[in-house]
Amino acid sequence: MPDGEDKLVGEFPFFPKQERAQQKRKALIDSGYALFNSKGYDLTTAKEIASHAGVATGTFYRYFSDKRQLLLSLLEDKLENFLPPEPSWIAGDPETVLISLLETHYKRLEEVGLHRVLPELIAKDPELADVLGKARRKIHESITSGLQQAQEQGLTWSDMDVDTLSWAIMVLVENGPDKENQCGRKIDCKEMASLICRMVFPPEVLKQLRKQEIEIQE
Amino acid sequence: MPDGEDKLVGEFPFFPKQERAQQKRKALIDSGYALFNSKGYDLTTAKEIASHAGVATGTFYRYFSDKRQLLLSLLEDKLENFLPPEPSWIAGDPETVLISLLETHYKRLEEVGLHRVLPELIAKDPELADVLGKARRKIHESITSGLQQAQEQGLTWSDMDVDTLSWAIMVLVENGPDKENQCGRKIDCKEMASLICRMVFPPEVLKQLRKQEIEIQE
Amino acid sequence: MPDGEDKLVGEFPFFPKQERAQQKRKALIDSGYALFNSKGYDLTTAKEIASHAGVATGTFYRYFSDKRQLLLSLLEDKLENFLPPEPSWIAGDPETVLISLLETHYKRLEEVGLHRVLPELIAKDPELADVLGKARRKIHESITSGLQQAQEQGLTWSDMDVDTLSWAIMVLVENGPDKENQCGRKIDCKEMASLICRMVFPPEVLKQLRKQEIEIQE
Amino acid sequence: MPDGEDKLVGEFPFFPKQERAQQKRKALIDSGYALFNSKGYDLTTAKEIASHAGVATGTFYRYFSDKRQLLLSLLEDKLENFLPPEPSWIAGDPETVLISLLETHYKRLEEVGLHRVLPELIAKDPELADVLGKARRKIHESITSGLQQAQEQGLTWSDMDVDTLSWAIMVLVENGPDKENQCGRKIDCKEMASLICRMVFPPEVLKQLRKQEIEIQE
DNA sequence: AATGAATGAGCGTTCATTCAT
DNA sequence: AATGAATGAACGCTCATTCAT
């Protein structure tokens, strides 16, 4: 039987094998994501993930070499979401900019969710730790370069250490409002933004930048 | 007959029961500590700990009800070491004070070592997470009250939010130089102290405090 | 292409999944049965049962939640076989009736075999003891009511205590010829029947009933 | 140092080594007995028995080669108590004699208590089963010979099978009032005695024997 | 003789992974 | 390509027994 006839029969609705496979892969990733988040990595079994995805146990291993690999796939495309976005410091009132940046970031983090299992994993998967470390280093660099620009324009504290500062910003953002076991009070994005601004800009610069902002709006 | 000879005959090797038991317990704790640190909590089995300590599996269970209990014993007297010390803000140059405080803290942390497995544990042992959470909340409170005092004396930024600030200080200290997966550069205690001071004190106050310090020294 | 050829090619060896699973389950049950009988319940481990059945340890747990459950499956449909049948006292010569009843019962018991482990189990599984106890109570009741009928028809000893008697019959039957550790001689069904009859009927009634039997046959 | 001096010092209160050892042995046996009865043989550990007896674990193994041996010692001197006493059939009213015999027996059984763990043990200790079997056979013989004597004196049913009968008596007594999982009603010694008498003696003989009894009393 | 800490084989059970269908 | 039954190593833990003191 020629190919053509086959196609004519089955074409519409039509899923090429690749696509169907991609769908299954997607289902597995989604299930892994859901289960890792709700029960933790260790307590989730490959069998569970498969059955939650509506496929057989063995199928899991057609798409992923093992449980760990699924996790890595999971992180792959969501990795950047775990990390704070690169702020742009000089376009308008930095505080306002930061606030919206932070709010967006935390909303995404909450959506991604996976951040709750990461500590468990990093502790026992050095490779994963490495992957994450690299990503963080990239973010760190981008924050650093942003700060450097601002510093070159004379906007920041003159004696500021760019590296330390960008590390501090990163750490603060990463340990922001969502982290569990926090110290009672929920951290507020507005206060956080204000704090970060104080670390970067002297008060008079901040006032200046804020005024510009208003002028631009007008 | 001199003491020395006596010792040579009957005393050495001589360990009263209790002491021998304590030695074994110690060996197990040490092995647990070493293995938890090197392989992570999960990947360490009770059998391994026992054999690393040079005792049989069953012996492990004479001293500890299970792996978790050994861990708790491990943490028990070291818990406060994981947490940053309470800074005193107004006695002299805050930056100098902070630097020595931080250095001491990180030295202790490095000694304790266990901090590397904590994230993994917190993730899967809610009780432990709770214990740690409480301790952190206490530290948070003490930082807050210190800041409040300083604020009442007009030493700090007037528009500073004490809660947010003490949270930030805590987070920064906890994620300090030692944390793995850091962003390339090692964080320096001096820079960190300087950053924290900037978050708390306006530059002129800081200068003032520093001067007082010098005067006192003279 | 005729069916026959098709069969020869694809069907043998062919076992639908279900059937294969059932076979394995069967093999496990059989192995459990054999090992329980030969070594006793306690001394038989799940691992042994599995390897005796030619499957891996884990396979055992696919089919049974644990050793006890396998046992219960073993008993499930055989329970009634452990217990004596309800005799019918007035249809013909009671002795003949009893003999065949007893013989059937003991043959079945021997087939079931499991009765040899029951005492051990009852001793340590209160739930099972309860199940068995209930079944015995039912049998006891049915024997009692049969005796009562006979008594009402004036066939039995007039001063007979129905309860005690039915208990005695039950106990005798249960501890019949097959029981281990017996006192040397094997108990004979004929003699047993004769003894039970003597406990129930006065000699003259027995003679009468026997005569009727003959008349009916004629 | 001569023996004499030793004695003078230690003599009163004086326990020769043997006696002290015997005391410990006794304590262990008692503890084993108590614990076996309350928790069952399997669930009782050697350590428990030792500590219940107030001695060290190791001491247990000085007196008994293992747990099983303690059990056997336990049975040794109590064995005959598990088994029904040999009735004497011709001295007076057999029913009265039997009743008191049975009552004594069951009281003793209750005291011995151990009968509750026996089934568990017999199932998995063939040697023990053998020991018990032998004892039972002895009792069986003695009952048989008693019945034989009575039969020779023409006191019993003439067509009675002595073997079967003595087996029946034994079984009934052994499964008497105390057995667990019984059929609701408690069995009464009086009724039991009456039943046994009916199995042995024709009514008129029984009446006769009872009359003699009265005459003897007068 | 007595101690009780130490032993380690072995239990029941789980689950990542394989493989016959 | 998909299935899911089967695998078996490894886990945490117990306890009868040994042995150094």
Of the candidates D116, D110, D112, D114, the residue with the CA atom closest to the CA atom of residue D189: D110
Range from A154-158, A177-181, B48-52, C160-164 carrying the lowest mean pLDDT: A177-181
C59 or A210: which leads in pLDDT: C59
Q: Inter-chain contact B140–A164, Cβ cutoff 8 Å?
A: no
Residues A135 and A189 occupy one common structural domain: yes
Q: What is the pLDDT of residues B111-120, one digit of tens each?
A: 777 777 887 7
- Please give the tally of structural domains in chain C: 2
Q: Which nucleotide is nearest to B62 (CA to C1')?
A: E5
CB of A144 closer than 8 Å to CB of A170: no
Element (H, E) at A201: none
At A134, is the pLDDT very low, low, confident or very high (cuts 50, 70, 90)? confident
pLDDT at A213: 60
Within a domain: A2: no
CB of C113 closer than 8 Å to CB of C33: yes
pLDDT at B7: 42
Nearest CA to the C1' of E2 belongs to which residue?
D59
Is a pLDDT exceeding 80 seen at residue C90?
A: no
B218 or C6: which leads in pLDDT: B218
Within a domain: A3: no
**C86: CB partners within 8 A, 6+ apart:** C139, C142, C143, C146
Element (H, E) at D56: none
Within a domain: D5: no
Of the candidates C80, C82, C68, C71, the residue with the CA atom closest to the CA atom of residue C29: C71
Residues A90 and A178 occupy one common structural domain: yes
Q: Inter-chain contact D161–C40, Cβ cutoff 8 Å?
A: no
pLDDT at D66: 93
Shortest distance, CA C166 to any CA of chain D (angstroms)? 10
**Mean pLDDT, rounded, for A67-93:** 75
Say how many C-beta atoms besides its own lie within 10 A of residue D71's C-beta: 23
- E-only strand ranges, chain D: none
Of the candidates B135, B167, B115, the residue with the CA atom closest to the CA atom of residue A176: B167
Task: Map tokens 């262990």 to a residue.
Answer: D28
> Looking at B28, B55, B71, which one is the last position of a domain?
B71
At B23, is the pLDDT very low, low, confident or very high (cuts 50, 70, 90)? confident
Integer distance in angstroms from CA B15 to C1' F20? 12
Q: How far is it, in rounded angstroms, from Cα D102 to Cα C164? A: 15
Q: Which residues of B touch A171 (CB under 8 A)?
A: 171-172, 175
**Mean pLDDT, rounded, for B91-99:** 82
3-state helix, strand, coil in chain A (%, to 5): 70, 0, 30
Q: Which nucleotide is nearest to C46 (CA to C1')?
A: E12
Q: DSSP state, B177? A: T
Is a pLDDT exceeding 60 seen at residue B9?
A: no
At C105, is the pLDDT very low, low, confident or very high (cuts 50, 70, 90)? confident
Q: Inter-chain contact C183–D191, Cβ cutoff 8 Å?
A: no
Closest in B175, B182, B184 to A175, CB measured:
B175
pLDDT at A65: 94
Q: How far is it, in rounded angstroms, from Cα C115 to Cα B81? A: 64
pLDDT at C48: 95
Q: What is the DSSP string of D135-197?
A: HHHHHHHHHHHHHHHHHHTT-S-TT--HHHHHHHHHHHHHTSTT-SS--SSPPPHHHHHHHHH
Residues D98 and D56 occupy one common structural domain: no
Residues B133 and B158 occupy one common structural domain: yes
Q: Which residues of C touch D157 (CB under 8 A)?
A: 198
At B217, is the pLDDT very low, low, confident or very high (cuts 50, 70, 90)? low
Helix (H, G, I), strand (E, B) or coil at B43: coil
A216 or D172: which leads in pLDDT: D172
Q: How far is it, in rounded angstroms, from Cα A34 to Cα A40? A: 10
Q: Which residues of A touch B45 (CB under 8 A)?
A: none
Q: Does D123 touch chain C (CB under 8 A)?
A: yes
Shortest distance, CA A54 to any CA of chain B (angstroms)? 28
Range from B93-97, B133-137, B178-182, D102-106 carrying the lowest mean pLDDT: B178-182
Residues A34 and A84 occupy one common structural domain: no
Residues A83 and A50 occupy one common structural domain: no
A52 CB neighbours strand E below 7 A? no
Residues A95 and A120 occupy one common structural domain: yes
Is a pLDDT exceeding 70 seen at residue A84?
A: no
Say how many C-beta atoms besides its own lie within 10 A of residue C18's C-beta: 8
pLDDT at A59: 95
**D75: CB partners within 8 A, 6+ apart:** D114, D128, D131, D132
In degrees and rounded to multiples of 5, residue C140 shows phi and psi of -55, -45
Is a pLDDT exceeding 80 seen at residue B203?
A: yes
CB of B176 closer than 8 Å to CB of B106: yes
Is a pLDDT exceeding 80 seen at residue C140?
A: yes
Q: Which residues of A touch B123 (CB under 8 A)?
A: 40, 116-117, 119-120
Of the candidates C157, C147, C152, C148, the residue with the CA atom closest to the CA atom of residue C206: C157
Q: Which nucleotide is nearest to C59 (CA to C1')?
A: F6
Q: What is the DSSP string of chain C?
A: --HHHHHHHHTTT---HHHHHHHHHHHHHHHHHHHHHHH-STT--HHHHHHHTTS-HHHHHHH-SSHHHHHHHHHHTTHHHHSPPPP-SSSS-HHHHHHHHHHHHHHHHHHH-GGGTHHHHHHH-HHHHHHHHHHHHHHHHHHHHHHHHHHHTT-S-TT--HHHHHHHHHHHHHTSTT-SS--SSPPPHHHHHHHHHHHHS-HHHHHHHHHHHHHHH-
At B12, is the pLDDT very low, low, confident or very high (cuts 50, 70, 90)? very low
C198 or A101: which leads in pLDDT: C198
Residue by residue, pLDDT tens for chain D (218 residues) are 444 444 444 455 555 566 777 889 999 999 999 999 888 888 999 999 999 999 999 999 999 999 999 988 888 767 766 666 666 666 678 888 888 888 888 777 777 777 777 877 887 788 888 888 888 888 888 889 889 988 998 999 999 999 999 999 988 888 877 565 455 556 788 899 999 999 999 999 988 888 776 666 55
pLDDT at C3: 42
Residues B105 and B192 occupy one common structural domain: yes
Range from A27-41, A97-111, D24-38 carrying the lowest mean pLDDT: A97-111
| CATH number reported for the structural domain that contains residue B207 in this entry | 1.10.357
Residues B179 and B98 occupy one common structural domain: yes
Nearest CA to the C1' of E21 belongs to which residue?
C17
Q: How far is it, in rounded angstroms, from Cα D159 to Cα D200? A: 10
CB of B99 closer than 8 Å to CB of B205: no
Within a domain: C66: yes
| Contacts across the A-B interface (CB distance below 8 Å) | 129
Within a domain: C2: no
Q: How far is it, in rounded angstroms, from Cα A168 to Cα A203? A: 19
Residues B165 and B195 occupy one common structural domain: yes
End-to-end CA distance of chain A: 72
Per-range mean pLDDT, top range of A8-22, B127-141, B160-174 = B160-174
Residues D111 and D168 occupy one common structural domain: yes
Task: Map tokens 């800081």 to a residue.
Answer: B206
Mean pLDDT for chain C?
A: 80
Within a domain: A104: yes
CB of C163 closer than 8 Å to CB of D185: yes
Phi-psi region of D147 (alpha: psi -120 to 50; beta: other; left: phi over 0): alpha
Residues B112 and B208 occupy one common structural domain: yes
Is a pLDDT exceeding 70 seen at residue A105?
A: yes
Shortest distance, CA B3 to any CA of chain A (angstroms)? 52
> Looking at C41, C58, C73, which one is the last position of a domain?
C73
Footprint of strand F on the protein (CB under 7 A): A 17, 20-21, 24, 55-59, 61-62; B 13, 45-48, 57-58, 61, 66-67; C 17, 20-21, 24, 54-59, 61-63; D 43, 45-47, 57-58, 60-61, 66-68
Nearest CA in chain C to D162: C191
**B154: CB partners within 8 A, 6+ apart:** none
Q: Domain limits at D166?
A: 79-217
Q: Which of C38, C39, C181 to mutate to test the interface with D (most CBs of D within 10 A)?
A: C181
Within a domain: A6: no
> Looking at D29, D51, D70, which one is the last position of a domain?
D70
Within a domain: C110: yes
| CATH number reported for the structural domain that contains residue A24 in this entry | 1.10.10.60
